[in-house]
Amino acid sequence: MGKIHNFSAGPSILPKEVFLEASQAIVDFNGSGLSLLEMSHRSKPFVAVMDEAQSLVREIYGLGDDYEVMFLQGGASLGFLISAYNMMRGNKRGAYVNTGSWAGKAVKEGAWVGEGVEVASSKDSNFNYIPKGYEVPSDFDYFHYTSNNTIFGTQYHQIPDVNVPLVCDMSSDIFCRPIDASKFDLIYAGAQKNMGPAGTTLYIAKKEVLGKSSMSIPTMLNLNTHAEKDSMFNTPPVFAVYVSMLVLRWIKKTGLEAIGNTNQSKANALYSEIERNSMFSGTAAAEDRSLMNACFVLNDGLDDALNAEFLNMATEAGISGIKGHRSVGGFRASMYNALPLESVQALVDVMKAFETKFA
Ligand SMILES: *Cc1c(COP(=O)(O)O)cnc(C)c1O
């Protein structure tokens, strides 16, 4: 098998060194004679893994002890409900921006708990832009947004400026560049896009917002339960947390600034080719394009044979995972942190060859 350029939208590419180290831990964890998979989550070696993963998150985002970091389960899909339960206050109303499928699901879960109100939406244009210029009245208990829209290829390039507590689903762009994380009251992110394998969900919560909900919250959905027990109220997903910890070490070593610059270079290379190439068009508004997921279609998008031909040429060049999501069609190239610039260049080369052949 030749080199595979992995553009999968998730679960997605992770650094190669992480796979090697993680495979070793399955056989013999740190010379203990035991696999990581067969030791107690309360054992010293695993408690050290959990501690390190939590401190790395604080360190990378420059957060202090006023933030609680938790590694839980249920995916961001449970995060929609958990965030609503934990952030509802006396008004029992959450403000949401609907920027696509995941954001829409968040609104729906908010409505299980209280009122989930859409204060803005880009549905009118198949979610190809980020809404701007709306107001968030102060009688909302929180404001929830999706920083990167994995399916539609749009991303917030600025943190929204609102006067109510800020909640964000960062599943597909967490740690993609430096941000001022101290602006957030609650961040959650499924690990499997940009931080680790499937199986754990990161929660970063300002300590002062925990335990303030107006709802009576079932035990496992209450973030306070997990904060008080250091993510060990029940058995944590030990392997997913361990692999995430290895990725976090890699992020710290590489540096968030450098990661952000590389992500910008990758996005520039691909978007400038999409613009230059006479065969393709991007689907997202230029100012809101995602650094992580680039969506593009053939100008002759209805020609199924031509679509198949491009996928064939890409596959032959070792490119994997670029078939677009069914709600947008065409192609989606996901360029998460661990994807090298060289893989984007390989895709650009195929786009050029395709133009030469068919234009
Ligand atoms: C993938 C994704 C989700 C859903 O994550 P699960 O872990 O499958 O529940 C939610 N939000 C965003 C932005 C995503 O990319």
Per-residue model confidence (pLDDT) at position 320: 97
CATH number of 256-358: 3.90.1150.10
Ligand 1: residue whose CA is nearest its atom 10: 76
Whether the CB of 75 sits within 6 Å of ligand 1: yes
Pocket test for ligand 1, best of 8, 77, 105 (most atoms within 8 A of CB): 77
Cα 177 to averaged position of ligand 1 atoms, centre (Å): 19
For residue 333, give the nearest of 358, 354, 356, 310 by alpha carbon: 310
Question: What number does the ligand 1 atom closest to the CA of 149 have?
Answer: 13
Nearest ligand 1 atom to the CA of 78 is 9
152 lines ligand 1 (CB under 6 A): no
Angstrom distance (rounded) from CA 147 to CA 28: 38
Return the residue whose CA atom lies nearest to atom 7 of ligand 1.
Answer: 75
Q: Whose CA is nearest to atom 14 of ligand 1?
A: 171
* From-to residues of CATH 3.40.640.10 in the chain: 16-254
1 Cα: distance to centroid of ligand 1 (angstroms)? 31
Distance of CA 78 from the midpoint of ligand 1 (Å): 9
Residue 1 confidence (pLDDT): 64
What are the tens digits of pLDDT across the range 109-136?
999 999 999 999 999 999 999 999 999 9
* CATH 3.90.1150.10 in the chain, residue ranges: 256-358
Ligand 1 center to 107 CA (angstroms)? 14
Which helix (H) or strand (E) is 205 found in, with range?
strand 201-206
Yes or no: is domain 16-254 CATH 1.10.287.70? no
CA distances from 152 to 30, 155, 341 (A): 42, 9, 22
Active site residues: 102, 169, 193
* DSSP state letters, 3-49: --EE--SSS----HHHHHHHHHHHH-GGGSSS-GGGS-TTSHHHHHH
Evaluate whether 355 touches 279 at the Cβ level (below 8 Å): yes
List the residue whose alpha carbon is closest to atom 8 of ligand 1. Answer: 75
Tell which atom from ligand 1 comes closest to the C-alpha of 198.
7
* pLDDT tens for each residue of 161-208: 999 999 999 999 999 999 999 999 999 999 999 999 999 999 999 999
337 alpha carbon – ligand 1 mean position (Å): 17
Which atom of ligand 1 is the closest one to the Cα of 74?
9
Q: How far apart are CA 133 and CA 6, in angstroms?
A: 37
Which residue in this structure is represented by tokens 């590419």? Answer: 13
The Cα 138–Cα 164 span in angstroms is 6
Going by alpha carbons, the residue nearest to atom 12 of ligand 1 is 171
Mutation to probe ligand 1, out of 8, 12, 102, 291 (largest number of atoms < 8 A from CB) = 102
CB neighbours of residue 55 within 10 Å: 14
| Nearest C-alpha neighbor of 292 from the set 194, 212, 213, 190 | 194
pLDDT tens digits, the chain, 359 residues: what are they?
678 999 999 999 999 999 999 999 999 999 999 999 999 999 999 999 999 999 999 999 999 999 999 999 999 999 999 999 999 999 999 999 999 999 999 999 999 999 999 999 999 999 999 999 999 999 999 999 999 999 999 999 999 999 999 999 999 999 999 999 999 999 999 999 999 999 999 999 999 999 999 999 999 999 999 999 999 999 999 999 999 999 999 999 999 999 999 999 999 999 999 999 999 999 999 999 999 999 999 998 778 899 999 999 999 999 999 999 988 889 999 999 999 999 999 999 999 999 999 99
Q: How far is the CA of 352 from the centre of ligand 1 (A)?
A: 32
